[in-house]
Amino acid sequence: MRKLILVLVGVALCTVGYSHVFTNPTSDSVSNEVSAPFYEREMQYKGHKKTSYYVMMDDSIRLAVNVYLPKGLKKGEKIPAILFQTRYWRGVGLKWPFSGLVDIVPHTANFPVLEFPKYGYGLVTVDVRGSGASEGNKTLTLCDIREVLDSKNMIDWIVEQDWCDGNVGATGVSYIGNTAMYALYNQHPNLKAIVPTYSLWDIYDDVSAPGGIYFHQFISQYGDFCESLDQNIIPESRNARGKKLSYGVERVKGYNKKDMVEIMNQHTCNHYHRTEGGTAAFMDDQFTLNGDFRVKDVMSPHQFADKIRGSGAAIYSWSGWWDAAFSHAAIRQFINLDDGRNRLRLGPWNHGGGANVSPTMAKASEFDDVKEVVRFFDFHLKGMDNGLDKSPRVYYYTMGENVWKTSDVWPVAAERKPLYLTSNGADWNASTDTESITSYTVDTTHTVGLNSRWSFDTNRTGITYANASSEDSITAVFTLAELSEDMEITGHPQVNIYLKSATEDGSIFAYLEDVDENGNVWKVTDGQFRFVHRKLHGTAPHYKDVVPYHSYLKVDALPMDTSKAEFMSFEMLPTSHLFKTGHKIQIRLAGVDLENFKNLYPNGGSWEIYHDAVHPTHVELPVIDRRLIMGAN
């Protein structure tokens, strides 16, 4: 009977708990189709025992905390702690009789954190101030300095507990992954290792305006989502069945509904990204929160990279190829913070890793993420000699081929091979024409839809791009002849284009596609860019990168000269994909992604794309020498 009830709860709560995973510890969840990093480690405990508390911060604000210890942990035995700080509820409050049967930690996607106690860790989940059952309010949707300081207070409290051995790690998905990164700002000596997954590095380029184009879909929906949670309401985007089983965020033991009303009243002062971010035209724009507030003033991890490096903590950055712009964010984390111990994992995942969205293979993810995180924490928190230090530090998945590969550096060695756009499609050889132009009228209805890389809803099954050939009539398409041999692209493609625009500003969306032998078109990766940001700088002044640097500052804005072709260079998001023999490489260009990004053509627009001897428009592809591949099966 208990098992039947648990199944029913699981079905109903596939939404209250946002995305969560019930796991079978006796099964091997690694896909048979790939050789993923795998850790042979048995669970030490069968479950967990939960307690809840209010913990007071140094400004007298109390945060709601759940502690999950291994069930059967002996009195006096000490274990490491894993900190999970969230603004999406530290736990879902279930109505009787379900409340005594199951615990739900929401927004964990393919990352069931309640497995950690089974491996001998104490899990501490925290509602950050101004959210969940915690007191206070949030001055920003994302972390502000007060929230960052709270993590120091929390770690101080954790190491004082009689079960903690003094070693602390932190992890989480998305916002929660970033709280792990922000915690390093304090350089707390007990915080030894973190695993920030599917999380940002530069708030402007990763979230507010990737490529300089306002990300209206996420910013508006995310604000609505957070506001619902902060008022103890299950968001409309979640399954209504869950509302019948849950009363909202889990209360701290001993507190009632009336107590929660008083706390929720404090949350009414919260600010949300949809008002903070404005239209994010420039990184130094000022917004409505106060006269001095700018996107660049929000705490992005890159702004305190020196403090992170000085923390002494080991970092395992983690993302998916179809995880919005966060695959590039994870790479930036790795190359800017690496001290020889840090690691990077890039898989075939959407945001949160709930789905394997490798083209032609979309399905639920079958990778055992928790064991890989446990391997990292076992080495750095428990001091276990498990071979982590002898294994490659970069794991990446090649889509199309569907195998894992390894490296110790990023980017991996590749030939930067230009694919030239021509009047006849695409060619490896540059055009010798005196003048060659493709005219394109911007279709302002074009979109890749909501089931794309730009969906942050971890409750979705994954990326479901329709066959892109349906877009042919409203986009500009350049197709290469069939490949005579396999070609692997791994790294950061770069678009170098000469374009004459009928408007002084505008946007371009570029898609790298794989056309199979049956004519099916699969998106491989994409990039986008706003014209006025095209001024190039030699290097980024604030962090290292492997792509062209644009400041996104108002002082560097360059309106297009509508009388001539102007040069623009911008990156596509990183990928690893095998184009097979007989397939075709294809480049698709559009001016708008209506459902996701701001339309910069309110009165219409048109281009002339130049691709001749004087204007060698091309996409630079990072081509791998297949003879030198490491780790492929």
Residues recognised as catalytic: 174, 323, 351
Q: Can you tell me the distance from the alpha carbon of 386 to that of 393, in angstroms, rounded to the nearest whole number?
A: 14
- How far is 347 from 277, CA to CA, in rounded Å? 30
Which residue reads 């219409």 in tokens? Answer: 604
- Enter the DSSP assignment of 18: S
3-class DSSP state for residue 518? coil
Q: How far, in Å, CA of 81 to CA of 276, rounded?
A: 34
Q: How far apart are CA 524 and CA 531, in angstroms?
A: 23
Where in 14-78 does DSSP place strands (E)?
48-56, 62-70
Residue-by-residue DSSP string for 255-311: --HHHHHHHHHHHTT---HHHHSTT-SSTT-B-SS-TT-BGGGS--GGGGHHHHHHT
* The pairing of beta strand 487-491 with beta strand 415-422: unpaired
DSSP conformational letter for 148: H
Instruction: Give the helix ranges, DSSP H, for 131-245.
Output: 145-159, 175-183, 203, 216-230, 241-245
Nearest-angstrom CA–CA distance, 503 and 161: 63
DSSP reduced 3-state for 449: coil
Q: Which of 305, 298, 301, 304 is nearest to 283 (CA)?
A: 298
User: Cα dist. 126→48, 298, 480 in Å?
Assistant: 17, 22, 52
CA 437 to each of CA 422, 431, 440, 568: distance values in angstroms, whole numbers, following the listed order = 8, 11, 10, 16
Q: Are 311 and 191 in contact (CB under 8 A)?
A: yes
Q: ω before 235 within 30° of 0 (cis)? A: no
Tell me how far apart the alpha carbons of residues 602 and 182 are, in angstroms, rounded to a whole number: 39
CB 61 within 8 A of CB 267: no
Residue partners of 481: CB distance under 8 A and separation at least 6 = 425, 584
Tokens representing 493 are 């493609």
Radius of gyration for the alpha carbons in the chain, expressed in angstroms and rounded: 25
| C-beta separation of 194 from 330 below 8 A | no
Of the CA atoms within 13 Å of residue 433, those in its CB half-sphere come to 15
> What are the C-alpha distances in Å from 47 to residues 41, 50, 172, 359?
16, 10, 20, 37
How wide is the angle at C-alpha 474 spanned by C-alphas 472 and 476, nearest 5°?
A: 65
Nearest to 304 by CA among 442, 148, 189: 148
The two structure tokens encoding residue 292: 């001095």
Q: From residue 272, give the alpha-carbon distance in Å to each of 148, 300, 309.
A: 18, 16, 30
